[in-house]
Amino acid sequence: MSGGHLAGKAIVVTGAGQGLGAAYARLAAAEGANVIVNDVDENHALSVARSIRADGGRAETAIGSVADWATAGAIVRSCIEAFGTIDGLVNNAGIFRLAHPSEQDPDEFRAVLEVNVLGTAYCGLHAIRAMLERGTGSIVNVTSGSHAGSAAMGAYGASKGAVASLTYCWAADLAGTGVRVNAVSPNAHTRMADTYEAYLGAAAQGQNVHKPPAQNAPAIVYLLSDASTSLHGQVVRIDGDELSMIAHPTVQGPGTRNPAWTVSSVAAAFGAGEVGPLSPVGLHRAPVE
């Protein structure tokens, strides 16, 4: 596989033992990349790596949790040791827990944040340091539309909101260095969708039906490739056959001014409709102009 959009590049995909991560790893390899398949499940990682090699690609495994600083460093080093460098990182590893706030288990909440936020940060920090030495590289973080608000997803949504913010901040830090940071918000019918359906019942039936993980992979490969050098600090959304962008948080304006705000004047401003517009509660889409 000497040709392709990622020909000769060395790429790490975390959480690549199944689902979306496996789809990203397989397409990256098919597009010419040398791939490190990371997962906490050794058998799953080995299976994906074997399938890549069987198709003529090159892949090695790195087993362990991204939520550990030393392990995250070892995952990045394994790419450099196996392939001589690291050109790209897909921060895909994540876990998913559902709970109403009144029933939220604190240990589960912590686990979600440790894997989804710290795992993304730890792998990214190690990769950024290696990439800065060469002045080139692409990091693709994985966020979710749930960070805009979704029932029973307090822990998961908060973690993915943090990943989006991390993307914006790292992009500001790395502007002009040759190292790019973007994010994707994928949609696919995976085990996560099945879990969501089982938890919410009829309210969530058909979650991401007919949206296979592989449908998301081309956008990830694009962001890893040299074809996307103009994109930095962006969040790309893939939803079945639709490709779109998620807007950065912004101040709703123009607002109103008062040199000495009081509780009463704040209430009056809201009452007069001078502040806003208010955003809907939960997931929503901006109107198409």
- Show the beta-strand stretches assigned E in the chain: 10-13, 34-39, 58-63, 88-91, 137-142, 179-185, 235-239, 242-245
In 114-247, which ranges are continuous DSSP H helix? 119-134, 154-174, 191-200, 217-224
Question: Residue 226: in which H helix or E strand, if any?
Answer: none
Rounded Cα–Cα distance for residues 105 and 255 (Å) = 39
Q: Which residues are identified as catalytic? A: 156
Surface-to-core class of residue 62, CB atoms within 10 Å of its CB (0-12 exposed, 13-18 middle, 19+ buried) = buried
Rounded Cα–Cα distance for residues 182 and 199 (Å) = 31
Examine the pLDDT at 199 and tell me if it is beyond 80. no
Rounded Cα–Cα distance for residues 214 and 31 (Å) = 14
**What's the pLDDT tens digit per position in 58-99?**
999 999 999 999 999 999 999 999 999 999 999 999 998 888
Percent of the chain with pLDDT over 90: 78
Q: For residue 277, give the amino acid letter.
A: P
CATH 1.10.10.10 fits 10-245, yes or no: no
Average pLDDT, the chain: 92
Examine the pLDDT at 289 and tell me if it is beyond 90. no
- Is the model more confident about 284 or about 66? 66
The band of 3, judged by pLDDT with boundaries at 50, 70 and 90, is confident
Examine the pLDDT at 129 and tell me if it is beyond 60. yes
CA 270 to chain centre: 36
Length of the chain in terms of residues written: 289
The band of 149, judged by pLDDT with boundaries at 50, 70 and 90, is confident
The answer, yes or no, to whether the previous bond of 277 is cis (omega within 30 of 0) is yes
- Is the model more confident about 190 or about 259? 259
SS3 content of the chain, % helix, strand, coil (to 5): 45, 15, 40
Q: Name which of 211, 165, 215, 185 is nearest 92 in CA terms.
A: 185
pTM of this structure: 0.91
**Residue pair 34/7 in contact by the 8 Å Cβ criterion:** no
**What's the pLDDT tens digit per position in 201-227?**
665 555 555 678 999 999 999 999 999
Q: Give one DSSP letter per residue of 81-97, joined into a string.
A: HHHSS--EEEE------
Give domain limits for the chain.
10-245
Structure tokens at 238: 């893939």
**Residue pair 140/15 in contact by the 8 Å Cβ criterion:** no
**Residue 268, CB half-sphere, CA atoms under 13 Å: how many?**
8
